[in-house]
Structure 1
Amino acid sequence: MEALVPAGLHIVTKRRPGKTLIHYVYAWRGGPLIHRAEGPRPRVTAAITDAAAEARAAGRTDGPQSPTIMNLIKSFCAAPEFTKLARSTQTSHNTWLKRIEERFGDAPLSVFEDRRVRADIMDWRDQWSDKPRSADAAMQTFTRLLSWGYDRGKLRENVAKGIGQLYDNNRSDVIWEADDFEKVAAVASVEVNEGVALAAFTGLRRGDLVKLPWAAIGEHAIVWKTNKSRGRNLATVPLLPETKALLARIKERHAAEMAKLEPDKRRPLPETVLSNSRWQPWSPTGFGSRFDDAKKAAGIDKHLHDLRGTFVTRCCIAGLNDREIADIVGWDTKDVAAIRAKYADQARVVVAIGERLARAAIA
């Protein structure tokens, strides 16, 4: 009779409600995947024994001081390619680097030069398959780590390169309709409504939206170094007529509310265009949380990010071409063209019909 898989090998059992168990056998904890079986716990076979021996031999070729994934992570975190990233990006990567270390930390780097380990990496990613965005974030960090190792000559290849994303939901052609704005306006605070309107008129992402300073507002455009890549990306957004009107209303409201306070309680307004009810700049998570509350109360299934598509339609109607708009929002021209065909050109047709009917009525 075959014996159970001996000590030294590492087995991970994946349980799926109503489905057969899946067992993953690794050469050692943190080592490469050498066997996969469904049903009962796997037993020793010649194939498993040979695969384990081969993997361990490969690990020993690097000697007792063989560099590991843990070493690679430490070197990566100290490198300028990591330290110069935006703080929010570092925080996101650190979350996944910690999980990579927990799972693969002791594995020799030589293991990650064998393409068979791709299955091991994908099995690790699939722990979050019920949350595709999280799974993709995990892979983005893993791929970036191995890519850095390849560029620095620590790896002969990046075995994670080309592993596809699980989240596939292109919402570039989703926009807010007038009814969506009305529903949110009815339940959201004035501060949240100002943020929603500013997003629709500028196309800025949430992190940039809440940090947009008044100093960046020019006569004809917003020109500002955003928080992407530590300010290396320059945002240039044309000021549409409705954007100028919104900014004027925000200033008027600020001045009016401050005038109501006793002189000794008045204070300078925040440097950012948007502020919360305490006259403090929003944090990205703070604004996002209040927006989500309003969206749920309004009963709409639209994202804050969808306001970028709304801004694109406004730019189309204002007369900008696809390339100009793509450069502003960082999209592909085909995505801009899709919105133009679906919404903007449609809107022009409706306006033109209305104008013809009005002329006919006058005649």
Structure 2
Amino acid sequence: MPRAKLKGVNTVKKRLSDGTVRRYYYHRASGTPLPSDPNSREFLLAYAEAEKARPKDAGTIAALIRSYSLSLKFERLATSTQKEYRRILTKLEDRFGTMPIAALASPKVRRIFLDYHEEIGREHPREADNRMTLLQVVFNYAISRGELRDNPIVGLERLHRADRAEFVWTERDVTGFMKDAPAELQQALVLAICTGQRYGDLIRLRWADYDGNAITLRQRKTGARVNVRCLPTLRAMLDGMPKRGPFILTRPDGRPWFTEKNDKALSKAWREHARAAGITELHFHDLRGTAVTTMNEAGLTPQQIASVTGHTFKSVLTILERYSARTQRLSDAAMLAWENAQATGFANPLQTTPLTAEAVWKKEE
């Protein structure tokens, strides 16, 4: 018997490691978990009890944080992102949870947040930025729901400046890493550079996503669906790999590189081998920027690159600005194009005219 549509019930879907989807139900106003069967008598009774109880944090920032964490917007985030956001939201609630929402209308409240930002930022600038960025997200969500009029920390200047323009995997880096790397790490590198996909999507790629010619996936972070035609190198590797299970990238024993609670195993193994190979500045996620840079060097337009990687057009331009502005191959290609351009041919034969000794003497006079 289908249940009546109840207001104020949040449904959270979670994909388990075996691929199945489980639904969890929460009373939105109080955050109270509800029974798993929405058609049961127990569900209706639990809902009625939750309706009676007024949340203790009503009217505070803690209520705004709870509202966002139970939202569909939060639910659609990748599992790893949700986990990180919950960690940060807990820190924010510990510090600001009891602050009344009404206090956010005061122009003086911005200074409180700025002081907190600087306090954390003295030792952990990136963490400080992440906390403030997520608090802005919470406030913006509250504004969209009519619970808040203005965002008191909009336009906050970041403390951490990340410039990875020099952190591109060069041919020398790749060769050094591949030399003594286990097969499973070599496979991960080839797959990453040849597709330009994120770490979280690569470790979850299934053999069913590969049709012998292309890889098709829906990205976990953005929901974008991309179809990547495999380069001959990648296709040869995939066709020659043993299929130890449903996932393309696996540990030596065939287990996937991720579990429901942890997806950092490949990253850890990668980091250990990179250090052993003398590569300390580059990370796995730099391979995505390297792929974008390589495609750009091959002459692909930003629109074409975005169709492969799933980035927005704006994001591709940002990555190119960070990663590829200083690569030697781009510089060489630019100068070669300039050298062969007819429109600027006047610059190529330019030479200085040597002065005779008499001319130099007259010039000095």
Residues 179 and 350 from structure 1, CA distance in 2 versus in 1: closer, same or farther, beyond 3 angstroms? farther
**Cα distance in structure 2, aligned partners of 1:319 and 1:138:** 39
Q: Are residues 347 and 209 of structure 1, via their aligned partners in 2, closer, same or farther at CA, if it must alter by over 3 Å?
A: farther
Distance in 1 (CA, whole Å) between partners of 2:245 and 2:211 is 18
CA distance in 1, matches of 2:104, 2:270: 43
Q: Which residue of 2 aligns with 1:261?
A: none
For 1:247 and 1:348, locate their aligned partners in 2 and report how far apart those are by CA, in whole Å: 32
Secondary structure of the equivalent of 2:285? helix
- C-alpha displacement at 1:175, in angstroms? 1.7
- In the TM superposition, residue 208 of structure 1 has moved relative to its aligned partner by 0.9
- In the TM superposition, what is the alpha-carbon distance from 1:67 to its structure 2 partner? 0.7
Partners of 1:323 and 1:333 within 8 A in 2:
no
Displacement of 1:157 in angstroms is: 0.3
In structure 1, what is the equivalent of residue 289 of structure 2?
309
CA distance in 2, matches of 1:321, 1:65: 51
Aligned to 1:18: none
Cα drift, residue 202 of structure 1: 1.2
Give the superposition deviation at 1:344.
Answer: 4.6
2:330 aligned with 1:339: no
Length-normalised TM-score, structure 2 = 0.66
**Structure 1 partner of 2:36:** none
Offset at residue 225 of structure 1 (A) = 0.9
Q: Residues 335 and 317 from structure 1, CA distance in 2 versus in 1: closer, same or farther, beyond 3 angstroms? A: same
- Counterpart amino acid of residue 234 in structure 1: R
Shift of 1:108: 0.5
- Which amino acid is 2:289 matched to? G
Are 1:151 and 2:135 counterparts?
no
- Calculate the TM-score normalised by the size of structure 1: 0.67
1:173 deviates by: 6.0
Residue segments in structure 1 that go unaligned for 5+ positions in a row:
1-63, 256-268, 353-363
Deviations 1:58-99 (A, max 9, x none): xxxxxx997111222222222222233222222111111111
* Paired residue type of 1:111: A
Q: How far does residue 322 in structure 1 lie from its aligned partner after superposition?
A: 2.7
Contact 2:126 2:159 (C-alpha < 8 Å) held by counterparts: yes
Equivalent of residue 234 in structure 1, options 212, 225, 236: 225
The aligned residue for residue 201 of structure 1 is 194
Identity of aligned residues (%): 29
SS of 2:264's partner is helix
Paired AA for residue 248 in structure 2: V
| 1:95 aligned onto 2:87 | yes
Matched, 1:111 2:96: no
Q: In the aligned structure 1, how far is the partner of 2:317 from the partner of 2:151?
A: 31
1:251-270 to 2 correspondence within 5 Å?
A: 251=241, 254=242, 269-270=244-245
Amino acid of the residue matched to residue 273 of structure 2? A
Q: Distance in 2 between matches of 1:248 and 1:315?
A: 23
Matches within 5 A, 1:28-43: none
Query: Do 2:212 and 2:239's aligned partners in 1 also have CA atoms closer than 8 Å?
Result: no
Instruction: Say if 1:322 and 1:83 are closer, same or farther in 2 by CA, change over 3 A.
Output: closer
SS of match in other structure, 2:250: coil
2-structure distance, mates of 1:324, 1:147: 33
1:332-361 CA distance string (max 9 Å, x none): 336437728735545769999xxxxxxxxx
2:217 is paired with a residue of what secondary structure? strand
Classify 1:166/1:221 alpha carbon distance in 2 versus 1 (closer, same or farther; 3 Å): farther
1:137 aligns with 2:130: yes
Is residue 292–residue 319 contact of structure 2 (8 Å, CA) maintained in 1?
no
Counterpart-to-counterpart distance in 1, 2:57 and 2:134: 25
2:308 equivalent to 1:328? yes
Q: Tell me by how many angstroms 1:219 deviates.
A: 4.8
Aligned-partner SS, 2:150: coil
Q: CA RMSD in A?
A: 2.9
Q: Give the one of 175, 178, 191 matched to 1:185.
A: 178
The CA deviation at 1:164 is 2.3
Q: Is the 8 A contact 1:188 1:294 kept in 2?
A: yes
Q: Which amino acid aligns with 1:102?
A: D
Between 279-288 and 83-92, the greater mean CA deviation after superposition: 83-92
Task: Give the aligned partner of residue 122 of structure 1.
Answer: 114
- How many positions carry a matched residue from both structures? 271
Distance across 2 between alignment mates of 1:78 and 1:279: 36
Verify the 8 A CA contact 1:313 1:343 in the aligned structure 2.
no
Which structure's residues are more often helix, by fraction? 1
Partners of 1:187 and 1:226 lie apart in 2 by 31
Shift of 1:290: 0.7
Which residue identity lines up with residue 272 of structure 1 in the other structure? F
> Any unmatched runs of 5+ in structure 2?
1-55, 338-365
